[in-house]
Copies of this chain bind each other. A is one copy, B any other.
Amino acid sequence: MSDSVARLDDVTVTVETRLLEVLAQRRARSRRFSAPYMQLWDSLERMARGGKKIRPRLLMDAYRALGGTDDRVALDAACAIELLHIALVIHDDVIDKDVMRRGEMNISGQFASEAMLRGTTRRDAHAWGEASSLLAGDLMLTLAHSLLARLEIPDEQRQSVLDIFDATVFESAAGEHYDVWLSLHLEPANPQDVLAMVDQKTAAYSFQAPLVLAAVLAGAPTSVIEELAVIARQIGVIYQLRDDVLGLFGDERDTGKSVLSDLREGKETLLIAYARSDPAWSEVEPLFGTEALSIADGHRLRRVIEESGALMFVESLITERCESVSQLIQEASLPAALREQLTDVTAACNLRSS
């Protein structure tokens, strides 16, 4: 286990080094433009530092386990996935009008607060923060595409890699769009809809893309690619369900996020979709999605959700999914090292506290 941790850390460092190398080129080039543009690249560099690098690690480890030997190629694909993740996170914050992420100011927050200190109105400052984030996301998305398009691999393989990446962006956007749609509450969201959204929004890019790209780059047979795709989606849903539980019932010191923020946002999670069927929900429903939600009302909402059985329902669904994915992993025709890795990842997705 300590061996495996050391190996994972090693990959994290390698990925971060390459990522910073790619960003440094652009950062240097930004010096020819405006001072705020240079600052934008500084912020992007800070975002690329640290973080768990779950997705690149998944890709690199799977690539090696599947017998891939060109680490340079896998590394750039891994960086592309991380850049896509950064782009999606930045644009997700714009969509949610968030100025904080994991307890720190995000790009919108940094740029808005600096402009306010320099004397702009609150409104202008927010518009400036949002514009900066929107462009930052575009730049990260461009960088992701750029790395993949330049992979030195045979033409046929490149076509597959590009197809996978396109389909991933397409599906993540579909999931994000559906997420915002559901939070408008124009039509009742049933648990199936929420699960489909979660699957599109997170599982596709966070788990399926890294594993499938690894398999394609390692030259794995189609059967392996298909097995990995199915397993990845299941793990992705577990990851997201745990995320939703942590968002409402997690320890704020671990998650770096207020347990009120999803409630204030009116985020349509599986917990909410389930709680809606409880008669007690109608009493607290007006509180859900109100920006000025008080701590006391937040507690009230969380109590109703818990007492509706939603928490138990989601926890048992997570357990059920963990069992079914374990079985899939054991039955799959994968190398032992990869089976072990996937088992570890599943457990980590379930047991994490942040």
Residues of A with Cβ closer than 8 Å to B? Answer: 26, 29-30, 33-34, 36-37, 40, 87, 91, 94-95, 97, 115, 118-120, 124, 127-128, 130-132, 134-135, 137-139, 141-143, 145-146, 148-150, 158-159, 162, 166, 169-171, 173-174, 176-178, 180-181, 184, 186, 200
Contact = CB atoms under 8 A, between A and B. Distances in A.
A95 B130 CA distance: 7
Contacts of A33: 171, 174, 178, 200
Nearest to A152: B155
Given A141-B141, A145-B142, A145-B146, A94 B134 contact: yes
A83 to B, nearest CB: 12
A94 B33 CA distance: 23
A169 B115 contact: no
Contacts of A34: 174, 177-178, 181
A81 to B, nearest CB: 14
> Chain A binding site: helix, strand, loop or mixed by DSSP?
helix
B94 A177 contact: no
A176 to B, nearest CB: 6
B36 A181 contact: yes
B120 A186 contact: yes
B141 A91 contact: no
A112 to B, nearest CB: 11
A181 B128 contact: yes
Nearest to A169: B142
Contact of A180 (B29, B127, B142, B177): B127
Contacts of A149: 145, 148-149, 158, 162
A248 to B, nearest CB: 21
A122 to B, nearest CB: 12
Nearest to A32: B174
A180 B37 CA distance: 11
Nearest to A130: B95
A159 B147 CA distance: 11
Contacts of A142: 141, 145, 166, 169-170
Nearest to A95: B131
14 contacts: A29-B170, A30-B174, A37-B177, A91-B138, A118-B186, A120-B184, A132-B180, A135-B176, A138-B173, A142-B170, A145-B149, A148-B149, A149-B149, A149-B162
